[in-house]
Amino acid sequence: MPMPPLDSATELILIRHGETAWNRELRFQGHADVPLNDIGHEQARRLGLRLASETAQHIISSDLMRAQQTAAPASLQLSLPVVTSAGLREQYFGIVEGMRADEIQTLHPRAWEQWLEFREDHAMPEGETAREFHTRIVAAIGALAAAHWGQRLVVVTHGGVLDMVWRTARGLSLSGPRQSDIPNAGFNRVRIADPAMPDAIEIVDWADTRHLADLPPQPTYDQRRHLKKS
Q: Between the CA of residue 218 and those of 64, 69, 131, what are the distances in Å?
A: 21, 18, 28
Residues contributing to the annotated binding site: 16-23, 66
Binding-site residue set for substrate: 16-23, 66
Distance CA 199, CA 127 (A): 24
**Which member of 11, 17, 128, 134 is catalytic?**
17
Closest by CA to 71, choosing from 152, 16, 20, is 16
Active-site entry in 90, 97, 108, 158:
90
Any catalytic annotation for residue 17? yes
Would residue 90 show up in a list of annotated catalytic residues for this protein? yes
CA distances from 161 to 6, 8, 9, 61 (A): 24, 24, 21, 12
Minimal CA–CA distance to 84: which of 108, 49, 60? 60
* Helix locations, the chain, DSSP H: 21-24, 38-51, 65-78, 101-107, 109-115, 130-147, 159-170, 223-229
* Catalytically active residues, by annotation: 17, 90
